[in-house]
Amino acid sequence: MVEELVTAGVALASVGAVYLVAAARVVKQYERGVVLRLGRLASEVRGPGFTMIVPGIDRMRKVNMQIVTMPVPAQEGITRDNVTVRVDAVVYFKVVDAADAVIRVEDYRFAVSQMAQTSLRSIIGKSELDDLLSNREKLNQGLELMMDSPAIGWGVTVDRVEIKDVSLPETMKRSMARQAEATRDRRARVINADAELQASKKLAEAAEAMSDQPAALQLRLLQTVVAVAAEKNSTLVLPFPVELLRFLERSGLQAQAETAAAEAERGAARRPAGPAKPGVSRAAVEGGEGGAPPPELEDLPDAEDLS
């Protein structure tokens, strides 16, 4: 009798232990337990901790309530300005209602992934290339709104959507590089022209100030020579003012004119005298106005003695 009682007690304890193992469940802090009893949703969602279900009748599904990071595969599309691009993104979402996430959608992760891809392709078609490259914050907000509206009915809320990368064709990259280079070149030329304009105004004011004092121009020339010589160059370039060159040119022309006039006067002085006029004696020709012969002719005999 005692043995039978002991055997029954052991069997009952074994059944109780098996039942306890089959019915015991542990829900973690970041999870919630959704219990389906005979296929119907139980009224209460099990919180974190130890809980019991009826084995064979109840089926409990644990739902993760943490924020899930899901990468969106790269989607290729044509923008509104007819440029083919590839865009990939990342979605941050979490479950706010465990019962809806189990009952209303078969696989909420797969559903969110497909919805993210569809929304991303839609955003690509509605946007221009410049918006994809420089106005991503606005596009991220648009993606979040597009995904959050249907996800609320699944017990899921989209926390954030970020566009990670925009891939462009190589030809488009080269075109954008040339455009940026041309824009920077134009900006540099405009800045250079503006600097030249300001410098010309300052130089005009300086020239006007130096014109009142001619020595200021010479001092400026000497300062330029000192600045060039300070570099220890082997060749020294000495600039000449234009006014100095003009002065030298005028001086040269004047000297040439004076030389030509002097040569003309010397040529006129060397020209031989013409024949003697009738009635003028030889003595007058040879002796000049006084009729006296020159000293070298005084010793010659007269014409009567020679006859």
Residue 133 and residue 3: Cα distance in Å, rounded? 84
Question: Pick from 206, 205, 96, 192: which is nearest to 151 by CA?
Answer: 96
R_g of the chain, CA atoms, integer Å: 58
Helix axes 214-229, 170-212, angle to 10 degrees: 130
Task: Check residue 214 and give left, alpha or beta (phi > 0: left; psi -120 to 50: alpha).
Answer: alpha
| Single pTM value for the model | 0.57
- Read off the tokens for 70: 């899901």
pLDDT of residue 6: 78
Residue 23 and residue 3: Cα distance in Å, rounded? 30
The Cβ of residue 144 has, within 10 Å, a number of other Cβ atoms equal to 19
Specify the range with the lowest mean pLDDT, choosing from 29-33, 47-51, 290-294: 290-294
The answer, yes or no, to whether residue 274 has pLDDT greater than 80, is no
Strands of 58-64's sheet in order across: 40-41, 31-37, 58-64
Which residues have a Cβ under 8 Å from the Cβ of 136 and sit 6 or more positions away?
A: 163
Query: Which long-range contacts (C-beta less than 8 Å, at least 24 apart) are formed by 300-304?
Result: none
- Read off the tokens for 48: 């974190």
- What is the tens place of the pLDDT at every residue in 152-190? 889 999 999 999 888 888 888 888 889 889 999 999 999
- What is the tens place of the pLDDT at every residue in 9-46? 888 888 778 878 888 888 899 999 999 888 888 878 88
The Cβ of residue 129 has, within 10 Å, a number of other Cβ atoms equal to 19
Helix axes 136-152, 108-126, angle to 10 degrees: 140
Confidence of residue 287 (pLDDT cuts 50, 70, 90): very low
pLDDT of residue 90: 94
- Read off the tokens for 4: 């039978």
- Asked whether the beta carbons of 90 and 158 are under 8 A apart, the reply is no
Residue 77 pairs with which residues in a beta bridge?
85
Residue 70 and residue 112: Cα distance in Å, rounded? 9
Q: What's the full length of the chain, in residues?
A: 307
